[in-house]
Amino acid sequence: MTKVILVRHGQTQWNLEMKYQGHCDVALTEEGIRQANLAANSLAEESLSAVYASDLCRAFATAECIAKKHQLQVKTIPEFREINFGKWEGLTYAAINDQWSDLMAKLLTHPDEIEIPEGETFRAVKERSTIALTKLVEKHPDQTIVVVSHGGTIRTILCAVLNIHLNYLWNIKQDNTAINILEYYDNQVLVSLVNGTHHLKVGSIE
């Protein structure tokens, strides 16, 4: 069995300001670093073979906290980036809604059908991220690996694994440093944890 632990990055300033980040490289806040260290503590007893992350700094910094506990180096894979929000990147929900109210309504109700101005579709994100994940599973038979990515990207992966239509991706909650666990067997994948945040409630940084 190959175990894949999917982790969302820690908090950023743009998370606090409700700004769409997408491919913009936004650093973790102090709270985000604290969350990342708590996630690292919760995974300290795992026997990890590798730690991967998207190449955006908020995911990489979160992954570094986890990798450090296991004396591993983080390997970056751009295919695990967040969706490219195009013209919406750096704008708040309210600002986007003012200019693209119809598209914003569709983003919330039919995300599978939306084409973000100069951005990417969720179908494209699902394809690139699941192809990359399949390659990692094949590369790490009977091992445990961590992949640190982004809320939208992780949701598309979970939709793919659970065979859920992408129009329901917002039904899957992903908090900052949420832990999700996938178990790959010969012909089956089991989702054993979604949006695990217990470490944020009871953890302490050592």
Question: Which residue has 């929900």 as its token pair?
Answer: 93
* CB-side neighbour CA atoms (13 Å) of 201: 5
Residue 201 domain-assigned?
A: no
CATH (domain of 70): 3.40.50.1240
Alpha helical stretches, state H, 71-195:
93-99, 101-109, 122-139, 151-162
Instruction: Supply the pLDDT for residue 205.
Output: 54
Question: Catalytic site residue 165?
Answer: no
Question: Catalytic site residue 46?
Answer: no
Q: Is the pTM of this model over 0.85?
A: yes
**Residues comprising the binding site for substrate?**
8-15, 58
Q: What is the pLDDT along the chain (206 residues), one digit of tens a residue?
A: 999 999 999 999 999 999 999 999 999 999 999 999 999 999 999 999 999 999 999 999 999 999 999 999 999 999 999 999 999 999 999 999 999 999 999 999 999 999 999 999 999 999 999 999 999 999 999 999 999 999 999 999 999 999 999 999 999 999 999 999 999 999 899 999 999 999 999 765 55
Contact 177, 2 (CB under 8 A): no
Residue 146 domain-assigned?
A: yes
Cβ atoms < 10 Å from Cβ of 99: 12
Q: Which of 23, 64, 79, 82 is catalytic?
A: 82
If one counts the domains in the chain, the total is 1
Residue 203 domain-assigned?
A: no
Residue 205 domain-assigned?
A: no
**Residues comprising the binding site?**
8-15, 58
Query: Which residues constitute the domain of residue 41?
Result: 2-196
